[in-house]
């Protein structure tokens, strides 16, 4: 029995925000991933943003405009930036907390009838699942999210996501494509999680601890591991 189905028809919308050292060393994941998916005839668009204003515009204005160029294709939002458990950091040093990103993604997911796939390419990118950890019946910011528990390097993320999109184009389901990411990059911390599963786990967790303790635990996710210098972690400004 195979895990393959009809290939997903999609394009990749890459938003990247490299740090100053990344720009100096010419590190650009967007360019690498775009060239890789082009080999599979997968359309892609890269937007490089440096601050919160540009990041917001890339989602609120840029994505709807690009979708007009690819009618009938599902957008996969790929965010490449330095990150930590509480959010991502842009080139300017601006921090975009998960609460802010949730507010930007939710209208997009609603316009897509709840089927947005989010790919986080950042240290502790899995922490983006906090966006789905909410009480009540508020709409989710995405259907499913792919991210990393740990501190992947630039080479880890570029190789992993090139394999991921290649396998999706071949008809593999997301879970299988994530397994391919792990095999290709040699990093076992890649994970796929549906928003509904994140919410359910969060609500179950709240039943066992006090809300303050729950928030503290969420902020501490994945912060114990040492961060290698080439990892996509937040820059420290003294």
**101-125: per-residue pLDDT in tens?**
999 999 999 999 999 999 999 988 9
Percent of the chain at pLDDT > 70 equals 82
pLDDT above 50 for 2: no
Overall fold of domain 10-219: Rossmann fold (3.40.50)
**Which residues, 6 or more positions from 13, have their beta carbon under 8 angstroms from its beta carbon?**
44, 45, 47, 62, 63, 66, 75, 76, 77, 78
Q: Which of 22-36, 76-90, 206-220 comes out lowest in average pLDDT? A: 206-220
Q: Is 39 helix (H, G, I), strand (E, B) or coil?
A: coil
The token duo for 39 is 């080999």
The confidence band for 219, taking pLDDT boundaries of 50, 70 and 90, is low
- Domain-wise residue ranges, the chain: 10-219
**Res. 52: pLDDT tops 80:** yes
Phi and psi of 51, rounded to 5°?
-145, 180
Enter the tokens of residue 129: 């699942």
pLDDT of residue 78: 98
User: Which H/E stretch holds residue 32?
Assistant: helix 29-38
Cα dihedral 163, 165, 167, 169, rounded to 10, equals -150
What pLDDT does residue 133 have? 87
Please give the average per-residue pLDDT across 57-65, as a whole number. Answer: 97
CA atoms of 102 and 122, how far apart (whole Å): 16
Mean pLDDT computed over every residue of the chain: 85
- Confidence category of residue 85, pLDDT binned at 50, 70, 90: confident
Which three-class secondary structure string do you get for 146-185?
EEECCCCEHHHHHHHHHHHHHHHHCCECHHHHHHHHHHHH
Average pLDDT over residues 170-180: 94
Residue 173 exposed, middle or buried by CB count within 10 Å (0-12, 13-18, 19+): middle
Residue 98 and residue 106 in contact, taking contact as beta carbons nearer than 8 Å? no
pLDDT at 42 over 60: yes
Q: What confidence tier does 200 reach under pLDDT thresholds 50, 70, 90?
A: confident
Q: Give the C-alpha distances (Å, rounded to integers) separating 230 from 27, 90, 104, 109.
A: 11, 17, 29, 33
> Rounded to whole angstroms, how far apart are CA atoms 116 and 175?
16
Q: What is the pTM of this model?
A: 0.83
Phi, psi of 151 (to 5 degrees): -125, 75
What local confidence, expressed as pLDDT, does residue 211 receive? 55
- Give the per-residue pLDDT at 208: 65
Task: Identify which has the larger pLDDT, 202 or 184.
Answer: 184
């Amino acid at each position: 029995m195979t895990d393959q189905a009809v290939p997903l028809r999609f394009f990749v919308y890459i938003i990247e925000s490299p740090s100053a050292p990344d720009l100096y060393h010419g590190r650009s994941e967007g360019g690498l991933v775009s060239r890789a998916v082009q080999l599979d005839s997968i359309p892609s668009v890269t937007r490089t943003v440096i601050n919160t204003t540009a990041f917001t515009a890339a989602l609120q204005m840029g994505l709807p405009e690009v979708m007009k160029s690819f009618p009938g294709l599902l957008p996969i939002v790929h965010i490449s930036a330095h990150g930590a458990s509480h959010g991502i950091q842009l080139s300017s040093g601006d921090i975009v907390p998960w609460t802010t990103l949730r507010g930007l993604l939710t209208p997009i997911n609603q316009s897509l009838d709840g089927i947005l796939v989010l790919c986080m390419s950042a240290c502790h990118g899995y922490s983006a699942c906090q966006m789905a950890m909410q009480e009540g019946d508020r709409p989710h910011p995405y259907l499913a999210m792919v991210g990393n528990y740990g501190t992947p390097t630039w080479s880890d993320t570029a190789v992993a996501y090139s394999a991921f999109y290649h396998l999706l184009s071949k008809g593999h389901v997301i879970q299988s494509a994530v397994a391919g990411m792990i095999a290709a990059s040699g990093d076992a911390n890649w994970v796929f999680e549906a928003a509904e599963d994140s919410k359910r786990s969060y609500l179950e967790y709240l039943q066992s601890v006090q809300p303050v303790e729950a928030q503290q635990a969420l902020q501490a996710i994945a912060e114990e591991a040492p961060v290698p210098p080439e990892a996509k972690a937040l820059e420290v400004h003294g």
